[in-house]
A = this chain, B = another copy of it.
Amino acid sequence: MSDGFCVQCGNTVQLQIPEGDNRQRKVCTTCEYIHYENPKNVVGCLLEWQGKVLLCKRAIEPRRGFWTLPAGFMENHESTIEGAAREAYEEALARCDELRLFSVYNLPRISQVYLMFIGQLRDGFARANEETLEVRLFNQSDIPWSELAFPVVSETLTRYYEMREQRDRRVYSADILSRPGAPLEIVRHPH
């Protein structure tokens, strides 16, 4: 069975460790092109308006109907902060002001790094669109904790309220570790 095909010449690739390397890569059996695979960044933001936080109810799978912070895969030729602002616009037609880095999460099992930003929701304006069934500004007491889409969202909101109370503006960094059948483990990194 083939491990796939070469993007350069279309012939088959095989898993092998290239010379001078220490990991298996997909190497073309014909032109020897090496296909590196690397983690992907997800960029997103927590937007505040008059003490409330913007959440979006997902219109698409996975986790359709659950609440999330605007976030998505970072694109080539943009910065992390531009990507976070783009996602806020794509998912909620929201514009952001004063974005700053809030947290970095490692999700090594699925080879993702989340970079979450925090900022102000311009004019308090947001609206649902194709990716979103509903947008809403939530007070802390109204956050739908049991209807949040992903552990990253719960973790970001939990740390946000904790750090807001302590007036702590440091960047928060953690590993979010999941293993099949085991409860989620969150390992905070030192500041």
Q: Residues on A close to B: CB < 8 A?
A: 4-12, 20, 23, 35-41, 73-82, 98, 100-101, 104, 106, 108-109, 111, 113, 115, 130, 169-171, 173, 175, 189-191
Copy tally for this chain in the complex stands at 2
- Give the residues in chain B near A175, CB-CB below 8 Å: 79, 81
Question: Smallest distance from the beta carbon of A103 to chain B beta carbons, Å?
Answer: 10
B41, A39: Cβ atoms closer than 8 Å: yes
Bound state CA distance, A108 and B76, in angstroms? 7
- A-B contacts, 26 of them at CB < 8 A, read A4-B8, A5-B8, A5-B10, A6-B7, A6-B10, A7-B35, A20-B130, A36-B73, A37-B76, A38-B41, A38-B73, A38-B74, A39-B76, A77-B108, A79-B108, A80-B113, A81-B106, A81-B175, A81-B189, A100-B173, A100-B191, A101-B104, A101-B171, A101-B173, A104-B104, A113-B115
Give the CA-CA distance A111 to B157 in the complex, in Å: 29
For A12, the chain B residues whose CB sits under 8 A away are: 10
In the complex, what distance in Å separates the CA atom of A8 from the CA atom of B6? 9
Main secondary structure of the interface of A (DSSP, over half): loop
CB distance from A7 to the nearest CB of B (A): 5
Cα separation A82 to B173 with both chains bound (whole Å): 13
